[in-house]
Amino acid sequence: MVSARKQVEIVYNPDERINKLADEVDKEAAPVSRLTLFSPCKINVFLRITNKREDGFHDLASLFHVISLGDVIKFSLSPSKAQDRLSTNVPGVPLDDRNLIIKALNLYRKKTGSNNFFWIHLDKKVPTGAGLGGGSSNAATALWAANQFNDFLATEKELQEWSSEIGSDVPFFFSQGAAYCTGRGEVVQNIPPPLPLDLPMVLIKPQQACSTAEVYKRLQLDRTSKADPVTLLEKISRNGISQDICINDLEPPAFEVLPSLKD
């Protein structure tokens, strides 16, 4: 019965895990009917592209790190047993199954057999097309929320494994906030976060779009950095982050696709 459920609002704690709900909610108490969750974005402290695979994807080695910028997503159970309903504060955001939130909820139902559908409102703060993983974070948040509403039908490890079917960046958002990511990005190794989340940071997002597909088309592997990503991690562990660590193999081809990025 929905009437036996409760509302829960989660306040993001940057000194703890990305999601604190599993620690905050008493699993023996009445299940929730509404959730308000923070959905943080991420930066790539360094990004090495190491190989082009036979399936057309590229292997990468990168240090992903969440920052305090993020979206807020509100979930509530819908009486419908047919479809989810998504709204947002930003025009132009798809509201159907092109949106990764809806894809994530569909995937959860497919994997678990759940028949719960949701009303969702996305308060969008993370710019799209900025390489910050906003959509991937939204997808991970939706999977995690669905699991709360369904009394934990899946383990968090299962959610992380399933999430790679949505996108390569999604599994990272089940990490502890910083991770060394390899493969297409879906192989996640937790590391101690080297950056405090209250560190002042300037992010610049140009108005023009820069197609990731076009950037990869311009990538020349023989012209990428030769820095060993494991060595970069060791330097960060010893000395912290410095400019020489912040290597991005996609920067040169991105400048070719969108020369104004250099201005």
The candidate with the shortest Cα–Cα distance to 16, out of 40, 46, 35, is 40
H or E stretch covering 234: helix 229-239
Please state at what angle helix 100-112 crosses helix 156-163, rounded to 10 degrees: 120
Q: With the C-alpha atoms ordered 143, 149, 153, 155, is the resulting torsion angle positive or negative?
A: positive
Select which of 42, 71, 84, 249 is catalytic: 42
Contacts of 168 (CB under 8 A, 6+ apart): 57, 183, 184, 185, 186
Residue 40 CA, chain-centre distance (Å), reads 7
Select which of 71, 84, 103, 169 is catalytic: 169
CA distance 255 to 57: 21
Query: Is-catalytic flag, 169?
Result: yes
Tokens of 119: 């009303």
Active site residues: 42, 169
